[in-house]
Amino acid sequence: MSLVVTGLSIASILLLVALGLAIIYGVTGVINLAHGELVMIGAYCAWALQSFFGIGLLASLPLIFLATALLGWIIDRVVIRHLYNRPLDTILATWGIGVMAQQAVRLLAGGELRYVEMPEAMNHPVSVLGVEIPIFRIFILGLAVALFGLTWFLIFRTSLGLKLRAITQSREIASCFGINSNRIYGLTFAYGAGLAGLAGAVVSPLKSVAPEMGTTYVVDAFMVVVLGGVESLVGSVASAFIIGQSSSAVAFYANDTIAKALVLLFIVILIRFRPQGLFAAKVRS
Amino acid sequence: MRNRDLIQYLTYGTVCLIIFLVPVFVQDAFLLNKTARYLVLGILAISLSLSWGYTGILNLGQATSFGLGSYCMAMALKLRTIPVHTGAEGLPDFMVWNNVEKLPWFWEPFYSMPFAIAAGVAVPALIAAGLGWFMFRGRVTGVYVAIITLAFLVVVNLLFIDQQRFTGGFNGITDLAQLDIGSFTFDAYGASSYYLIAICLTFCLFFALLVTKSKAGLILQAIRDHENRVRYFGYDVARYKIFAVAVSAAIAGMAGMLYTIVMEFASPTFMGVQLSLSVVIWCAVGGRQSLLGSMLGAILVAGMQGALSESETFLDTWTLVMGLVFVLVVLFLPKGLAGAAETLKDRIFRKFGRSSKAMAKSPGEATPRPAASRPT
């Protein structure tokens, strides 16, 4: 039982980190290697707001979302915009941006580890089905589900989402109908970056905050997106669940490192046989 | 031989000659060792240029091959220090610390230096060929190749760190003997190691150049430009791609071995994500579609990084600057510095070529041929 709960906890964090990446990748085709750094910046925002302005973690979440979204929008307008037709080069450019972000944070906030305090109300465990779990873990799970729901609503129930889906299918034809694809791309990137910032903020009390923390997240998040299928939101949820559960199960029998290696190998094999991912959206072509 | 080829061979030869002349002017052992290190990274960049620039396979796990080669050499050199550290019958020191009773079977053959050298080239090549077979037979392309190779790198890296008993874990394999062949010892801080590396560099550079000029090399470039067209002509695209990654991995493995010789240790960071992505940067800055450009890019960027990170003023800002330069290169010089040099050269030649040819030939033939304007 505790295995399943641990797996669920890993999965919810993975989903939070991967959701923004999945949206950016699915809509614009940009491989955003700076995603991990956006997560890291979100975590640092949480730390800065807490230690300089005394704003608690929960209250600072909307601010962090806006700040990282704005940053994402700027990155898109200045750099990524020019590379929409060169997907492989986006890997390189975003990695360069990631390097800059890492070093900039190191200069501004110092290289040492930072700690963010857990919200007072969530600092005690509750018993769920016979397992003691911290409320904060449940909160993360809830937030992941809520953000997934919000994203789903934005994409499938708003006019903005309709335009977005049109662009994903065919950018040229969507443009012919007067949809400003440039603007939508920018907004998508900003939204994805905002989600990354949120993810960083909520994981900050669980792990120490450091300039290098992003690198580990980005590889994991990629695996979630690729496993799930690029254009499928539901796929991201399912694959985050699968990866979370299998990591915690293998870690129980071997150790964390072996678990991670095996899960990665499994994903490599999966990409080979299903490059479209487990839950590819059916698109008429 | 065409004129263009001749100029290319001469340029490559001149650069190698300059590299050979360095020890004449640089006497400082520390500086020589550092230069040798950059040259090794240059070899690594050549290997990536072969697979990325010439074949279009963005291998984000090039450091896997580098690291494997490095560990092969380190194992052989470690075994030679056993009598010094733990007695003639003993085990390498880190195995003793980890309570290993008996030398593992896969360490045994590394008592033989020729075997170790062969393994340092063959193991990375075979593993790359296996991974290539796995990917390219299934027609995995583009971004997915990048993700698979990156994931594979992380897996290998995690395993090497986890299996501390056999690989030294986080610390890697340290405290190595110096390489000796026959009765000659290669001193890591002496000119001997430098020349060894310079010879290997020249060999790799010209070997890679000959590969790109061979028929297989031309097909590889055709695959880069339009894979399906090559397939429709009846070529086995997968086989050529496997060949490209295997050759590339062999060269990277060789670079790894040389790196262990000059650094005098092997570390899991040699197969880390950071180094692997750095290679991509070097190639992109130097010009991935030029072997020489990639190599010089590596020497230039790594050298500047080394120099600036040692000076007080740039210690903190250097990485920031490097990231910025890299983004600018990707945006404005997709073919890197070599591409920019090529364009510049063409412009100058066109200017002079037009005036001289116009007098010699009829105006119709005077139009300059579109050199170096390969489609990308």
Cβ contact, residue pair B320, A95, below 8 Å: no
Nearest chain B Cα distance for residue A82, angstroms: 7
- CA–CA dist B200, B259 (Å, integer): 12
List Cβ neighbours of B376 (8 Å cut-off, separation of 6 or more): B225, B334, B335
Closest by CA position to A221, among listed A10, A1, A4, A8: A10
How is A19-53 classified by DSSP, letter by letter? Answer: HHHHHHHHHH----TTHHHHHHHHHHHHHHHHHHH
Chain A residues closer than 8 Å to B327 by CB: 79, 93, 96-97, 100
Lowest mean pLDDT among A43-52, A186-195, B18-27, B92-101: B92-101
Question: Domain residue spans in chain B?
Answer: 3-271
Chain B residues closer than 8 Å to A259 by CB: none
Backbone Cα Rg of chain A? 19
Q: Is B156 left (phi over 0), alpha (psi -120 to 50) or beta?
A: alpha
Lowest mean pLDDT among A87-91, B85-89, B315-319: B85-89
Q: Kind and range of the H or E element at B297?
A: helix B291-310
Nearest chain A Cα distance for residue B243, angstroms: 19
pLDDT cut 70: percent of chain B above it? 90
Say whether residue B133 is in contact with chain A using an 8 A CB cutoff.
Answer: no
Confidence of residue B147 (pLDDT cuts 50, 70, 90): confident
Which amino acid would we find at residue B126? L
Nearest chain B Cα distance for residue A182, angstroms: 18
Q: In this structure, what token pair is assigned to residue A185?
A: 């791309």
Confidence of residue B372 (pLDDT cuts 50, 70, 90): very low
pLDDT at A282 over 60: no
Q: Is A133 helix (H, G, I), strand (E, B) or coil?
A: strand
Q: What is the DSSP letter of B174?
A: -
Lowest mean pLDDT among A10-24, A182-196, B75-89, B96-110: B75-89
Say whether residue B155 is in contact with chain A using an 8 A CB cutoff.
Answer: yes
Cβ contact, residue pair B143, A267, below 8 Å: no
Choose the closest CB to B162 out of A91, A92, A257.
Answer: A257
List Cβ neighbours of B105 (8 Å cut-off, separation of 6 or more): none
Give me the sign of the Cα torsion angle B340, B342, B346, B352.
positive
Nearest chain A Cα distance for residue B330, angstroms: 6
What pairs with residue A114 in β-bridges? A209
CB of B249 closer than 8 Å to CB of B131:
no
Mutation test of the interface with chain A: which of B58, B137, B147, choosing the one with the most A Cβ atoms within 10 A? B147
A224-244 tens-digit pLDDT: 888 887 677 888 888 888 888
Instruction: Give the model's pLDDT for residue A66.
Output: 95
CA closest to A82 among chain B residues = B331
Closest by CA position to B317, among listed A104, A40, A250, A14: A104
CA closest to B141 among chain A residues = A275
Q: Is A114 helix (H, G, I), strand (E, B) or coil?
A: strand
Chain B residues closer than 8 Å to A84 by CB: none
When pLDDT is averaged across residues A140-154 and rounded to a whole number, the result is 91
CB atoms within 10 A of CB B161: 19
Closest by CA position to B327, among listed A21, A100, A72: A100
CB of A202 closer than 8 Å to CB of A140:
yes
When pLDDT is averaged across residues A121-141 and rounded to a whole number, the result is 79
What pairs with residue B266 in β-bridges? B173
Backbone Cα Rg of chain B? 22
Instruction: Give the model's pLDDT for residue A272.
Output: 83
B365 burial via Cβ count (<10 Å: 0-12, 13-18, 19+): exposed
Choose the closest CB to B324 out of A82, A100, A273.
Answer: A100
CA closest to B52 among chain A residues = A88
Q: In this structure, what token pair is assigned to residue B48?
A: 């990536």
List Cβ neighbours of B303 (8 Å cut-off, separation of 6 or more): B38
Pairing of strands A131-134, A125-128: antiparallel
Cβ contact, residue pair A271, B147, below 8 Å: yes
Chain A residues closer than 8 Å to B334 by CB: 86, 89
Choose the closest CB to B319 out of A103, A219, A260.
Answer: A103
Nearest chain B Cα distance for residue A89, angstroms: 7
B319 burial via Cβ count (<10 Å: 0-12, 13-18, 19+): buried
B171-226 tens-digit pLDDT: 888 888 888 777 777 877 888 889 999 999 999 999 999 999 999 999 999 999 99
- CA–CA dist A274, B148 (Å, integer): 13
Choose the closest CB to A88 out of B142, B162, B281.
Answer: B142
pLDDT cut 90: percent of chain A above it? 21
What's the CA dihedral at A272, B252, B269, A116 to 10 degrees?
-50
CB of B170 closer than 8 Å to CB of B271:
no
Chain B residues closer than 8 Å to A273 by CB: 138
Largest CA distance in chain B: 83
Q: Which residues of A112-151 are buried (b: 16+ CB within 10 A; e: fewer)?
A: eebebebeeebeeeeeeeeeebbebbbbbbebbeebbeeb
List Cβ neighbours of B104 (8 Å cut-off, separation of 6 or more): B166
pLDDT at B70 over 90: yes
User: Which position has the higher pLDDT, A127 or B356?
Assistant: A127
Listed in sequence order, the DSSP H helices in B163-236 are 164-167, 191-213, 215-225, 227-232
Highest mean pLDDT among A148-162, B103-117, B240-254: B240-254
Say whether residue B323 is in contact with chain A using an 8 A CB cutoff.
Answer: yes
What pairs with residue A133 in β-bridges? A126
